[in-house]
């Protein structure tokens, strides 16, 4: 009898366990996005009625690039969160972006316009045919009067001229429409390059004793998104403060659009290792047993690089590929044609090309143009169980700095307002205006801060390398502005003068920004024969070299010019270098660098002399130029 009851109990338990959990879809919306330098944290919120007992709520149609380990669930209500897990749904694939639908509507509109213009050409052809059929004149006496003939010729000339002129205009318009249609079709093809992707799903197991309304906030990281710092540097004149517009170039190709979300931009990178480095033992060995890594000889000379990124499989252009200068925050995203362009910082050596689903490439910077073909990568995404979850938010804010803007005239456009939040290890910019960013990989520039900074201006020239002088803006105590290394668009006296790099990684107290060339400061360097001579003294050769350096201020106001040159530095004791005339320059004995600090009056010209003597064994040869 006991055995009978035991079997009955086991069957009842098995039947109970075999019943599937009640599953309901949790409707959520994205309301906050924190964009990191690489990656983004998505915050979703939603509410749902939870029934008594165990059940499961599911978030569907999420990004396939969701980082399962980053999922965090915050819940409110009289129920218990039992488990959280993530999986990919290959049956419910993400629909194509709304951009494709809008592009298809554009093509339909263009096609209708082409048909209307083609119909107009047919009407004009019929009109010309009707004129041709009635161009022969006849009178009662079998001829036409001269006046009637002249009138007819004038009429036909006017009508045919109008018809031909309109035909040309209509044909030109049709050609323009067809060109626009081809470009639109190309955009659709670019948008459809990627295959349909599976959707991500988050399943949350819950248990409640009675019916309850549950509120959920779910946060997680996604790849294929990020931002790059960018700047607009404006200088009205050298007697006014510099205007620095701090911008974020944000991109996202996560597969899910961000509609009217609150944006935050963080200088953190959750994909970067947070493990502090440790020094290992440094073993000193003979040179023949030591591997020496030569520095990249091209990294210091190339200032701008551009190129095109294509697929290695079908040679089609790849839009939305991330291009990053390795070891910096300077980067960009390829456009719809796969093209990119980057201004490089000093000592840039390597570019990193990356895109989810493609094999990343690191390419040495050896030329001003670098084209890349990326190969497909096999993504092995599987279901990941997230065992930990939290029911409350944690973290402290160390300080808040609100960007107070002065009132402006009604005729000026208003800038967005942002708040700077300084956390313990990162800095975030909160954008008060909600933004919508489509999942198409295109760059969107968003202004973060605008600073008016008291600046010291001076000119910088190296006539040995370049005949132009460069205007340098020096910002003191620049670290208070939370700047990152990035490209800077330069505007001087309301004109665009080029692009530079803001080196925010500098450890100096003063941040120097190159504002481009100024033709009003003229510099020159010329070798002078009277200072140049060669002779032999005993077993040594002695060579004397001399140069004349000219600097002229063509401006109507005084300016400070920092002028640089150099002396050669001996690498061995058999070669000696001695300066004979430096015209008051400051000499760095270790590097041979010469610096003249010139306070130049308006229209003033200053002439400097640089001479030096080099002694070396007469059996050897030394290149001095």
Dump pLDDT digits (tens) for 136-152.
Answer: 655 444 455 677 777 77
Nearest one of 277, 261, 320, 230 to 43, comparing CA atoms: 261
What the block records as the tokens of 431 is 């954008």
376 domain residue, yes or no? no
What was the pLDDT predicted at 118? Answer: 87
Specify whether 175 is located in the same domain as 50. Answer: no
User: Residue 505: which pLDDT band, with cuts at 50, 70 and 90?
Assistant: low
Specify whether 58 is located in the same domain as 102. Answer: no
Specify whether 56 is located in the same domain as 171. Answer: no
259 domain residue, yes or no? no
What was the pLDDT predicted at 92? Answer: 61
Per-residue pLDDT at 523 exceeds 90 = yes
Specify whether 64 is located in the same domain as 109. Answer: no
Averaged over 242-251, what is the pLDDT? 89
404 domain residue, yes or no? no
353 domain residue, yes or no? no
Averaged over 230-246, what is the pLDDT? 87
The total domain count for the chain is 3
Specify whether 60 is located in the same domain as 155. Answer: no
CA 524 – CA 517 distance, rounded (Å): 15
Task: Using a pLDDT cut of 70, give the percent of the chain over it.
Answer: 78
Averaged over 103-113, what is the pLDDT? 82
262 domain residue, yes or no? no
Specify whether 465 is located in the same domain as 549. Answer: yes
Answer yes or no: are the C-beta atoms of 63 and 200 closer than 8 Å: yes
Which is higher by pLDDT, 599 or 270? 599
Which is higher by pLDDT, 335 or 560? 560
Answer yes or no: are the C-beta atoms of 30 and 262 closer than 8 Å: no
DSSP state of 163: H
Specify whether 612 is located in the same domain as 483. Answer: yes
Per-residue pLDDT at 408 exceeds 50 = no
Specify whether 204 is located in the same domain as 60. Answer: yes
Q: Determine the structural domain holding residue 161 and report its residue range.
A: 98-137+145-191
Report residue 59: phi and psi, to 5°.
-95, 125
Averaged over 14-25, what is the pLDDT? 65
Per-residue pLDDT at 235 exceeds 90 = no
Per DSSP, what are the bridge partners of residue 309? 372
Q: What is the pLDDT of residues 425-459, one digit of tens each?
A: 567 888 888 889 988 777 888 888 888 888 888 89
Q: Averaging pLDDT over each range in 130-134, 191-195, 484-488, which range is the top one?
A: 484-488
Q: What is the pLDDT of residues 451-483, one digit of tens each?
A: 888 888 889 999 998 888 988 888 887 777 878
Per the confidence metrics, is the pTM higher than 0.95?
no
Per-residue pLDDT at 514 exceeds 70 = yes
Specify whether 71 is located in the same domain as 204. Answer: yes
442 domain residue, yes or no? no
Whole-number average pLDDT of the chain? 79
Per-residue pLDDT at 380 exceeds 60 = no
Specify whether 185 is located in the same domain as 204. Answer: no
User: Residue 98: which pLDDT band, with cuts at 50, 70 and 90?
Assistant: low
Specify whether 172 is located in the same domain as 211. Answer: no
Q: How far is CA 227 from CA 68, 251, 262, 356, 621, in A?
A: 22, 6, 15, 16, 53
Averaged over 308-319, what is the pLDDT? 87
CA 436 – CA 33 distance, rounded (Å): 11
What was the pLDDT predicted at 276? Answer: 66
Task: Using a pLDDT cut of 90, give the percent of the chain over it.
Answer: 26
Nearest one of 386, 361, 390 to 374, comparing CA atoms: 361
Q: Is the dihedral of CA 135, 140, 142, 148 positive or negative?
A: negative
Specify whether 476 is located in the same domain as 610. Answer: yes
């Amino acid at each position: 009898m006991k055995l009978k009851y035991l079997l009955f109990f086991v069957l009842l338990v098995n039947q109970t366990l075999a019943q599937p959990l009640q599953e309901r879809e949790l409707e959520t919306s994205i309301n906050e996005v924190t964009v990191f330098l690489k990656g983004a944290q998505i915050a979703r919120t939603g509410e749902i009625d939870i029934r008594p007992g165990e059940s499961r709520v599911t978030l569907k149609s999420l990004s396939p690039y969701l980082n399962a380990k980053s999922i965090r669930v915050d819940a409110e209500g009289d129920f218990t969160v039992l488990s959280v897990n993530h999986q990919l749904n290959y049956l419910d694939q993400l629909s194509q972006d709304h951009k494709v639908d809008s592009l298809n509507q554009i093509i339909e509109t263009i096609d209708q316009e082409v048909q209307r213009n083609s119909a107009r050409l047919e009407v004009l052809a019929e009109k010309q045919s009707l004129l041709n059929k009635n161009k022969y004149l006849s009178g009662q006496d079998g001829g036409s009067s001269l006046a009637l003939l002249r009138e007819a010729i004038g009429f036909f000339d006017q009508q045919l001229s109008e018809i031909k002129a309109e035909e040309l205009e209509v044909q030109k318009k049709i050609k323009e429409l067809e060109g626009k249609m081809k470009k639109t079709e190309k955009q659709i093809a670019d948008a459809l390059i990627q295959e349909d992707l599976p959707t991500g799903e988050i399943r949350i197991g819950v248990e409640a004793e009675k019916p309850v309304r549950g509120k959920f906030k779910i946060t997680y990281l996604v790849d294929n998104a990020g931002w790059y710092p960018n700047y607009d540097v404006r200088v009205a004149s050298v007697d006014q403060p510099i205007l620095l517009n701090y911008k974020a170039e944000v991109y996202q190709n996560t597969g899910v659009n961000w509609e009217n979300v609150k944006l935050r931009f963080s200088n953190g990178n959750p994909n970067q290792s947070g493990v502090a480095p440790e020094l290992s033992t440094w073993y000193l060995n003979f040179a023949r047993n030591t591997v020496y890594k030569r520095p990249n000889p091209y990294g210091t000379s190339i200032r701008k690089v551009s190129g095109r990124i294509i697929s290695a499989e079908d040679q089609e252009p790849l839009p939305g590929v991330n291009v990053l200068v390795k070891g910096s925050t300077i980067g960009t995203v390829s456009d719809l044609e796969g093209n990119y362009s980057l201004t490089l910082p000093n000592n840039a050596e390597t570019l990193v090309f990356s895109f989810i689903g493609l094999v990343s490439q690191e390419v040495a910077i050896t030329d001003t143009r670098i084209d890349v073909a990326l190969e497909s990568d096999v993504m092995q995404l599987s279901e990941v169980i997230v065992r930990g979850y939290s029911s409350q938010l944690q973290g402290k804010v160390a300080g808040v700095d609100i960007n107070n803007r002065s009132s402006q005239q009604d005729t000026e456009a208003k800038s967005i307002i942002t708040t700077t939040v300084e956390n313990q290890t990162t800095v975030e910019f909160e954008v008060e205006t909600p933004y919508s960013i489509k999942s198409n990989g295109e760059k969107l520039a968003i202004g973060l801060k605008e600073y008016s900074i008291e600046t010291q201006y001076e000119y910088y020239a190296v006539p040995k390398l370049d005949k132009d002088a460069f205007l340098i803006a020096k910002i003191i105590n620049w670290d208070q502005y939370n700047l990152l290394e990035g490209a800077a668009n330069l505007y001087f006296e309301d004109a665009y003068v080029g692009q530079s790099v803001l080196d925010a990684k500098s450890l100096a107290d003063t941040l120097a920004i190159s504002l481009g060339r100024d033709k009003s400061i003229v510099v020159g360097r010329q070798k002078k024969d009277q200072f140049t001579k060669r002779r032999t003294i005993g077993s040594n050769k002695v060579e004397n070299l001399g140069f004349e350096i000219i600097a002229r201020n063509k401006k109507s106001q005084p300016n400070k010019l920092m002028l640089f040159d150099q002396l050669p530095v001996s690498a061995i004791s058999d070669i000696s270098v001695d300066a004979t005339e430096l015209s008051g320059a400051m000499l760095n004995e270790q590097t041979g660098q010469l610096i003249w600090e010139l306070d130049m009056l308006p229209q003033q010209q200053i002439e400097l002399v640089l001479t030096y003597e080099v002694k070396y064994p007469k059996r050897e040869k030394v290149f001095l130029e």
